[in-house]
C-alpha cells in the first residue's frame, strides 16, 4: 500500500487522490513533528500570560471579546467543536471526508497552527484505520473555513458523534476509536479552533474534480473525433498550423488529440462528395477544439490555484516563524470558490457542444446519409431518440449548475463574518456537474460508435476501431433493433467514467494531451 509522508511544506494533488480515493497510509515526518512541538511551545507560553490572545484565551467570532480563564479553556475548545458540528442533510461522500481530514492534517503539520504532535498523530491514525466521520451536505459558507464539515471530523477525534468504519457501517465514533486502539484527543488551547478553520473541503473537492475533468476532456476529444468521422467531416480544421495562429495551449492540445484519433481514417474528407456538398462542418464539429481548449485552459488556472492552496497553511490565528500569533483572513475561500465555479461553467459548455453533435448524428436531414435516430427500421424502431432526450436533460441541469455560487454571500456570526465565499457550495455542485458531464459524453460515445458502424462501406481510423471494440467488449451493444437502452447507456457511462475509453484509444495513439 502506498504511504504518504506529511511534512511542513504542504502536499500534492497526487497525495490527496492517493489518500482520499485509494486508502494510502499516512506518516508524519520528523520535521513535521518538530515543527508541531515548536509551535505548541509558543502557544503554551502565550496561554500562560494574562493578556488575551484570540483563539488561545478568548471566545470566537463575534464572541472574541470575552477573556477565558485557564480552568475553562479545555471546555472552550470542546464546546467550539460540539457547537460547530451543526451540519444537516445527506452524508458527504467518503472520499470527500478523507480529503478534508488529510488536508487539515497537512496544515496542522505546517507548524503554523499550534496543535500538539499527538493530535496530528491521532488524525493520521483515524485515516489509517479507515474511520470516516459522518459529515453532512450543509453547514459551510466557505469562510472561516469549512466550519461544520471540519467540526464533524474533529468531533470524531474526540470520540463523539458518528463515523463510518472500514466495513461501511456507521457507528458511534468512540466505539470505532476503541476498536482500533486510538485514544480520543483531549483538546487544549487553540486546538479546537485549529481543527476547524480551513478551506480543506472545497480544496479536496477541487483536486478530485480536476483529476476527473482531465479524463473527461480527453474523452470528449475522442467522442468529438468519432462524431466527425461518423458525419464524414474534414480533419483539415485540426491542422497544427491553424491552431498555432491562435496559440491558446488548450485549443492546440484538443486539436492534436482529435487529429491523433483520426489518423488513418477512411471516413473523413467525404463532405464534398455528397449530393449537397458542404464547404464547412457545423460549429459543434469544427469548433470542438476551441471549446474543449478553453475548458482545458480554465483547468490550468484552477490547477495553479489548487497548487498554491496545497502549499498553504490556512488557519486563524496563525503561528508565524518569528513567534508571533496573528489573526488573519486567509481562511476566506474566494480563490478556490471562483475556480470551482469557472470549472462548472466550462463543464456545462463542453456538455452542450457534445449534445449538439449527438443531435446532429440522429437527424437524417443533417447526418449525411445516416438513418433517422440511427434506428434499425425507422418508424418501427425509435433508435436513440430518447437517449438524446436524456442527454438534453443532463445538459439543461449542467447549465443550472453553472450559475456561480461565489457570486452570493450571506452574513453570519452577528455580522462579524459579513462576507463569505460559498466555496463549499461551489464544490458540491461541481461534483454533480462532473457526474452529469460523464453521462453526456457517454451518450455521444454511444451514438457516434453506432453511427460509424452503420457506415459499413468505409473504414474508421485504427484508434476509432479500438474504442469501438473495447466498448463492445464492455457489454455495450452495437446497431440493431430497439432494445432496453438504459443498461447500454449505464455501461457506456462506466466505460467513460473509469477511463476505459481513454485507455483503449491511447493503446493506438500513445498518450493524449
Q: Which positions are annotated as active-site residues?
A: 54
Rounded distance, CA 501 to CA 275, Å?
35
Q: Measured between alpha carbons, how far is residue 157 from residues 32, 83, 126 in Å?
A: 20, 15, 8
Q: Cβ–Cβ contacts within 10 Å for residue 244, how many?
A: 10
Grid coordinates representing 488 are 447500454
State the distance between the two ends of the chain, measured CA to CA, in whole angstroms.
29
Can you state the angle between helices 200-230 and 249-262, rounded to 10 degrees? 40
Of the candidates 480, 422, 440, 482, which has an alpha carbon nearest to the alpha carbon of residue 140?
422
**Strands laid side by side in the 170-172 sheet:** 132-133, 162-164, 170-172
Q: Give DSSP secondary structure letters for 462-505.
A: HHHHHHHHHHHHTT---S-S----HHHHHHHHHHHHTTHHHHHH
Residues 6+ apart with CB under 8 A from 69: none
Contact 445, 471 (CB under 8 A): yes
Beta-ladder partners of 498: none
Of the candidates 280, 251, 285, which has an alpha carbon nearest to the alpha carbon of residue 355?
285
Q: What are phi and psi of 151, to 5 degrees?
A: -65, -40
Of the candidates 286, 325, 448, which has an alpha carbon nearest to the alpha carbon of residue 43?
325
Of the candidates 55, 38, 26, 127, which has an alpha carbon nearest to the alpha carbon of residue 322?
38
Cis peptide before 157 (omega within 30 of 0): no
Rounded distance, CA 208 to CA 214, Å?
10
Q: Dihedral angle at the C-alpha atoms of 77, 80, 82, 83, nearest 10 degrees?
A: 160
Contact 65, 171 (CB under 8 A): no
Q: Does residue 190 come out as left (phi exceeding 0), alpha (psi in the -120 to 50 range) or beta? A: left
E strands within 56-125? 88-91
SS3 percent helix, strand, coil of the chain, rounded to 5, is 55, 5, 35
Nearest 5°: the CA angle 155, 140, 215 is 100
Amino acid at each position: 500500500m502506498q504511504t504518504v509522508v506529511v511534512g511542513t511544506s504542504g502536499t500534492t494533488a497526487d497525495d490527496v487522490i492517493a489518500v482520499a480515493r485509494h486508502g494510502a497510509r499516512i506518516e508524519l515526518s520528523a520535521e513535521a513533528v518538530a515543527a508541531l512541538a515548536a509551535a505548541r511551545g509558543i502557544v503554551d507560553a502565550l496561554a500562560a500570560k494574562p493578556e488575551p490572545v484570540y483563539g488561545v484565551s478568548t471566545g470566537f467570532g463575534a464572541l472574541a471579546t470575552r477573556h477565558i480563564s485557564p480552568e475553562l479553556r479545555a471546555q472552550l475548545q470542546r464546546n467550539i467543536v460540539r457547537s460547530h458540528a451543526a451540519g444537516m442533510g445527506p452524508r458527504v461522500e467518503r472520499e470527500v471526508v478523507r480529503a478534508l481530514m488529510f488536508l487539515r492534517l497537512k496544515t496542522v503539520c505546517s507548524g503554523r497552527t499550534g496543535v500538539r504532535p499527538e493530535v496530528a498523530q491521532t488524525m493520521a491514525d483515524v485515516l489509517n484505520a479507515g474511520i470516516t466521520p459522518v459529515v453532512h451536505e450543509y453547514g459551510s459558507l466557505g469562510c472561516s473555513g469549512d466550519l461544520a464539515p471540519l467540526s464533524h471530523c474533529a468531533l470524531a477525534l474526540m470520540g463523539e458523534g458518528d463515523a463510518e468504519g472500514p466495513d461501511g457501517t456507521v457507528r458511534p465514533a468512540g466505539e470505532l476509536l476503541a476498536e482500533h486502539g486510538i485514544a480520543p484527543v483531549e483538546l487544549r488551547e487553540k486546538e479546537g479552533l485549529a481543527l476547524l478553520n480551513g478551506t480543506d473541503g472545497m480544496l479536496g473537492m477541487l483536486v478530485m474534480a480536476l483529476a476527473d475533468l482531465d479524463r473527461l476532456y480527453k474523452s470528449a476529444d475522442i467522442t468529438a473525433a468519432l462524431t466527425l468521422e461518423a458525419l464524414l467531416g474534414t480533419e483539415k480544421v485540426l491542422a497544427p498550423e491553424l491552431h498555432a495562429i491562435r496559440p491558446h495551449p488548450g485549443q492546440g492540445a484538443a486539436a492534436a488529440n482529435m487529429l491523433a484519433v483520426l489518423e488513418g481514417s477512411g471516413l473523413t474528407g467525404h463532405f464534398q462528395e455528397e449530393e449537397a456538398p458542404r464547404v464547412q462542418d457545423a460549429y459543434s464539429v469544427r469548433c470542438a477544439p476551441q471549446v474543449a481548449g478553453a475548458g482545458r485552459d480554465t483547468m490550468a488556472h484552477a490547477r495553479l490555484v489548487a497548487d498554491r492552496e496545497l502549499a498553504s497553511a490556512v488557519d486563524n490565528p496563525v503561528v508565524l516563524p518569528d513567534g508571533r500569533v496573528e489573526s488573519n483572513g486567509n481562511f476566506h475561500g474566494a480563490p478556490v470558490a471562483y475556480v470551482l465555479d469557472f470549472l462548472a461553467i466550462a463543464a456545462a459548455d463542453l456538455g452542450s457542444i457534445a449534445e449538439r453533435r449527438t443531435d446532429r448524428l440522429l437527424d437524417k436531414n443533417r447526418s449525411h446519409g445516416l438513418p433517422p435516430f440511427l434506428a434499425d427500421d425507422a418508424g418501427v424502431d425509435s433508435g436513440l431518440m430518447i437517449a438524446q432526450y436524456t442527454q438534453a436533460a443532463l445538459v439543461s441541469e449542467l447549465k443550472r449548475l453553472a450559475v456561480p455560487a461565489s457570486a452570493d454571500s450571506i452574513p453570519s456570526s452577528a455580522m462579524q463574518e459579513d462576507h463569505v465565499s460559498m466555496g463549499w457550495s461551489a464544490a458540491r455542485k461541481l461534483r454533480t456537474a462532473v457526474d452529469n458531464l460523464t453521462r453526456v459524453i457517454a451518450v455521444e460515445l454511444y451514438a457516434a460508435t453506432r453511427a460509424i458502424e452503420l457506415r459499413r462501406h468505409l473504414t474508421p481510423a485504427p484508434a476509432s476501431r479500438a474504442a469501438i471494440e473495447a466498448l463492445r467488449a464492455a457489454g455495450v451493444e452495437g446497431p440493431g433493433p430497439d432494445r432496453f437502452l438504459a443498461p447500454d447507456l449505464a455501461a457506456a457511462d462506466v466505460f467513460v467514467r473509469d477511463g476505459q475509453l481513454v485507455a483503449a484509444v491511447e493503446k493506438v495513439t500513445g498518450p493524449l494531451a
